[in-house]
Amino acid sequence: MLTCAITMAMLTACSTQKNTSSSRWWHAFNARYNTYFNGSEAFIEGSQEKESQHKDNFTEQLPLYAAGTKSGRDIGKDKFDRAIEKAEKAIKRHSIKRRPQWTKKRRKTERDIEWLSRREYNPFIWKAWLLLGKSQFQKGEFEEAAATFSYISRLYATQPAINGIARAWLVKSYSEMGWIYEAEDVIVKMKRDTMHYRAIADWDYAYCDFYLHNGKRKEAITYLKKVIRHERRKKLKARQWYIMGQLLAEEGDKQGAYKAFRKVVALNPPYELAFNARIAQTEVMASGGSKKMIGKLRRMAASDNNKDYLEQVYYAIGNIHLMKGDTLKAISAYEEGNRKATRNGIEKGVLLLKLGNLYWQRQQYPDAGRCYGEAIGLLDKDRKDYAEMDERSKVLDLLVPHVNTIHLQDSLQYLATAPEDVRNAAIDRQIELLKKKEKEERDAQMEQEAEQKQRENAQGNANNNRNDRTNTTQQNTPGGKAGVWYFYNPLTVSQGKATFERMWGKRDNVDNWQRINQTVVQLNDDFAHNNEEEQTGTDTDDTTTETTKDDGPTTKSNDPHTREYYLAQIPMTTEQKEASDRLIAEALIEGGIILKDKMDKTEECCKYLERLLNSWPDYERNDETCYHLFLAYSRQGRHTDAQRMVKRLQERHSESQYTRLLTNPYYLEDARWGEHIEDSIYAATYEAFKKGMNDVVKANTRISDERFEQGNNRPRFLFIDALTLLSEGDTKGCISRMTEVVEKHPTAEIAEMAGMIIKGVRQGRKLQGGGHFIGDIWNRRMTENMADTINADTLMVEQDANHVVIMAFPSDSIDSNQMLYELAKYNFTNFLVRNFEIAVAENEGLSSMTVSGFTSYDEALQYRQQLTRQFDALKKENKNIRLFIVSEQNLQLLGTTFSYAEYDEWFDTHFAPLAPVEQPLLNEPTEVVRKEVETEDDDGDNEQEEEEEENDDNMFDFDEDFYR
């Protein structure tokens, strides 16, 4: 009994509900040496794992923290999860929020007031809070980290040291998310306060990180110097010196950058970091020492230690040549780096991007397309220049086939007219190049296989041998595993691709790729199609015979190492020459349009189209050619040449749609303001349609017919006109207009609805005319018949059930993405202790954002009231947005059994009269101050204990934060 009594007394004395000197000491001791210790060890292990495993992208500005990169966020994740778990456990078990009793007989000092106004009395628990925030930061969960550090800064508002450290980490979290304005706001507020000396180091890191993300290099350099002085870890110090070199190079201080990179090497960091520092030194060297640096780089390329970094070496050589203005040597160096690269990594991607840009500038579009196409798969989509590269690659995918067609057919036509000895000499050169290329590929493959075999032998042991036998057995099974498809095994697929490229080279994914003469294939396909419709059976047999002759597997004509293979592709006959001319003409007009519209290269466009007009004046698409030349000349300011194209259209293509377009008296007005005029006319037409003004709708549709036949709103005009005809009882006219929408504008959004209407009519359904129904979204519901609603569920009045707040608006009235961003930002900044989820939906013109996480109607009501008062985006779009409070049970009926308008009417009847709760339910609850009652247990609290309470902050002093 005595033992039980002592145990109960100890447990009572150590409860978090009792705030005495002994209880604070006990919980601080347990928090530190139990849960916190394990969490801190996990955090240190995760940080070391991130430091050793993270691979930096040295082709870009390095971030201060590896957690800011995609590749670095997942490293050590399990360790940080454990640290978070332990920190949360320590806070939950050992946090003391109860205020101590004041029993002294003297007046309270300023220090006493500060002590009694605290919201946390465990003198060690702040370390658990910081561990929680730092672990979230290192995981890349910056929003959660920001919320944690923001809460710490409020929780320890009266303790400058802890508050300063928390706010420094808050700035880092905002900076990593790109929330520059929020980070700057914290910095400005911090400048007004006195910074505690214990938080200075953390703020130096915070300032450096902030200025790096803000692009202010000079300020970043200032604080980076302080960061380097604080840093004690050798590898991170070397990395920070590398960042310093990058910043100084960007600022033009090449001498300072050279010294910074030299300090990186002097710290003896890992080989990759030291190698990149040496490469960077060559890029910031003085221009007079370029020859010496190129020699140094070539010696580095010859070293076996650098065989996996050759793309970087030759990239640096190319940069030096480019700096000297020698573009051809730069291209040669880049191509050699691409050819000798052994890794398909970011470094190779950057080299290909640089090479592609040079080819783009030199108008060598096939080579540019090849480089961009390879670089896209190697570079991160977050790069600033990725979008431009991706757009260029897409455009070149359209242009390059036409450029290649022109070049190939021109070369073949030249060879067709050249003397036989010249033709044979050109073919022999091509064969020699092919043999040389195949030999190089064989040698490279043999070398690669030898190295692979050598590595396997070096690593071989008994266990590996058994694994090898198992793998061999699996590889003999299709797909590498029993019962697994071939293409599910990436190793087998890659080997198959390599074998195919060695045999056939790199080829586009097209049909008939093995055919010798692609022109003949095209002609035969067209000829066969015509035979099916017009020719007799005998003619079809002749065509089949001819095709069979072309497809016959003659050894020499199928072997690219023989002259016959190339001679079969040369257009020697009149028919082949005409087919070749047609290919060139098609490529010229299509390529010219792409150059003008997609690439804004009007000068090159004019060269293509002028050649087409001059070489093939009777080409059937020359009316279109004249039209595009007119646009290109007009854009260049060559108005005389532009009018010459109009005159040619009138003389040679008087019935063309392009002639009608350019001779339209409104053409100049439409060319300048046509898009805006059409938008205005459509808006007026839509309003007239809603009001039932059919005459206005028809008149505006006629304007669209005459002036905006190719306008962006053309399908909408047709659709509204069809509905107007339907309202007048003209069902056939309605269907005719709907059909025009589907056939002429199949990609338009409204075409899907038009197609559904046509399909319904063909299935026997009858159209019923009526007024405007498109915009009446608030009265729309899935269950249209009253009979369906009789047996449906009814709306329930549940005040204490889970509720959601729905923000609904017409889809075409508001930018949904921008509204989602504004709403998420509003929730995050105003409700830090609540985690509201936002679900986005769109249904037939009505968009909605559902905010969930409310445990009662009163909470949802307070949220809606606060949103209405404070949410700026809602105030701007007040006319288009409607807010609804719905229980989760009633949510299933909204929009299906009951329309929004019906629900709103029901809500006004059952919920609107309820009195709102005045107590704030969404914000963090204020601490309830309870009146202390003296009991027998409190008799031991004397003045000596109170003095200990005042000074127990020193129980656990600040220690050096190893991972800032």
Q: What angle do CA 335, 360, 325 make, to 5 degrees?
A: 65
CATH of 21-43+58-100+114-214 given 1.25.40, 3.40.50, 1.10.3470, 1.10.150 = 1.25.40
Measure Cα distances from 69 to 467, 578, 869 in Å: 36, 57, 38
pLDDT in tens, 751-803: 888 888 888 777 766 655 544 444 456 666 654 444 344 444 688 888 888 89
* Model pLDDT, residue 507: 56
Pair of tokens at residue 863? 């949220």
CATH 3.40.50.880 is right for the domain spanning 271-388: no
Measured in degrees and rounded to the nearest 5, phi and psi for residue 479 equal 90, 0
Q: With CA atoms as reference, report the closest residue to 183 among 205, 141, 214.
A: 214
Q: With CA atoms as reference, report the closest residue to 399 among 374, 357, 370.
A: 370
Pair of tokens at residue 372? 């961009």
* Model pLDDT, residue 17: 57
pLDDT in tens, 570-580: 898 889 899 99
Asked whether the predicted pLDDT for residue 467 surpasses 70, the reply is: no
Q: What is the average per-residue pLDDT within 661-680? A: 82
DSSP 500-566: HHHHH-S--S-TTTT-S-HHHHHHHHHHHHHHHHT--HHHHHHHHHHHHHHH---HHHH-TTSHHHH
Q: What is the average per-residue pLDDT within 672-699? A: 87
Asked whether the predicted pLDDT for residue 944 surpasses 50, the reply is: no
Q: What is the average per-residue pLDDT within 78-82? A: 91
Q: Which pairing describes strands 803-810 and 846-854: parallel, antiparallel, or unpaired? A: antiparallel
CB atoms within 10 A of CB 72: 20
Radius of gyration of the chain from its Cα atoms, rounded to whole angstroms: 38
To the nearest 10°, the Cα dihedral for 39, 43, 44, 47? Answer: 170
Confidence class of residue 539 from pLDDT cuts 50, 70 and 90?
Answer: very low
The segment(s) of the chain belonging to CATH 3.30.70.260 are: 799-910
CATH 1.25.40.10 is right for the domain spanning 667-774: yes
Q: Do residues 175 and 213 lie in contact, with contact meaning Cβ atoms separated by under 8 Å?
A: yes
Percent helix, strand and coil across the chain, each to the nearest 5:
70, 5, 30
Measure Cα distances from 839 to 662, 756, 890 in Å: 50, 28, 17
Using CB atoms within 10 A of its CB, is residue 215 exposed (0-12), middle (13-18) or buried (19+)? exposed
The segment(s) of the chain belonging to CATH 1.25.40.10 are: 271-388, 667-774
Confidence class of residue 107 from pLDDT cuts 50, 70 and 90?
Answer: confident
pLDDT in tens, 637-659: 999 999 999 999 999 998 888 88
Q: What is the average per-residue pLDDT within 57-84? A: 88
Q: What is the average per-residue pLDDT within 874-896? A: 80
* Model pLDDT, residue 404: 94
> Could you tell me where the DSSP H helices lie in 178-309?
180-192, 200-214, 217-230, 234-250, 254-266, 271-283, 290-302
CA–CA distance, 652 with 655 (Å, rounded to integer) = 9
Q: Do residues 810 and 775 lie in contact, with contact meaning Cβ atoms separated by under 8 Å?
A: yes
CA–CA distance, 411 with 447 (Å, rounded to integer) = 36
Confidence class of residue 810 from pLDDT cuts 50, 70 and 90?
Answer: confident
Quick one: residue 363, left, alpha or beta (phi over 0 = left, psi -120 to 50 = alpha)? left
Its sign, for the CA torsion 933, 934, 940, 945, is positive
Asked whether the predicted pLDDT for residue 483 surpasses 60, the reply is: no
In the chain, how long is the greatest CA-to-CA distance? 123
CATH of region 799-910 = 3.30.70.260
pLDDT in tens, 395-442: 999 999 999 999 999 999 999 888 989 888 988 898 999 888 888 888
* Model pLDDT, residue 779: 64
pLDDT in tens, 560-572: 888 888 888 889 8
* Model pLDDT, residue 2: 43
Q: What integer best gives the mean pLDDT of the chain?
A: 79
Q: What angle do CA 155, 156, 159 make, to 5 degrees?
A: 165
Quick one: residue 461, left, alpha or beta (phi over 0 = left, psi -120 to 50 = alpha)? beta
Asked whether the predicted pLDDT for residue 811 surpasses 80, the reply is: no
* Model pLDDT, residue 477: 42
* Model pLDDT, residue 824: 82
CA–CA distance, 271 with 276 (Å, rounded to integer) = 9
Q: What is the average per-residue pLDDT within 697-721? A: 87
Asked whether the predicted pLDDT for residue 857 surpasses 50, the reply is: yes
Q: What is the average per-residue pLDDT within 9-24? A: 57
CB atoms within 10 A of CB 347: 22
* Model pLDDT, residue 794: 81
CA–CA distance, 144 with 832 (Å, rounded to integer) = 9
Using CB atoms within 10 A of its CB, is residue 722 exposed (0-12), middle (13-18) or buried (19+)? buried
CB atoms within 10 A of CB 457: 8
CA–CA distance, 317 with 334 (Å, rounded to integer) = 8
Measure Cα distances from 351 to 325, 333, 565, 778 in Å: 18, 10, 36, 56
* Model pLDDT, residue 848: 86
Least confident of 66-75, 100-109, 371-380, 886-895: 100-109
Residues 6+ apart with CB under 8 A from 340: 310, 311, 314
Provide the β-strand partners of residue 852. 804, 837
Q: Which pairing describes strands 846-854 and 837-843: parallel, antiparallel, or unpaired? A: antiparallel
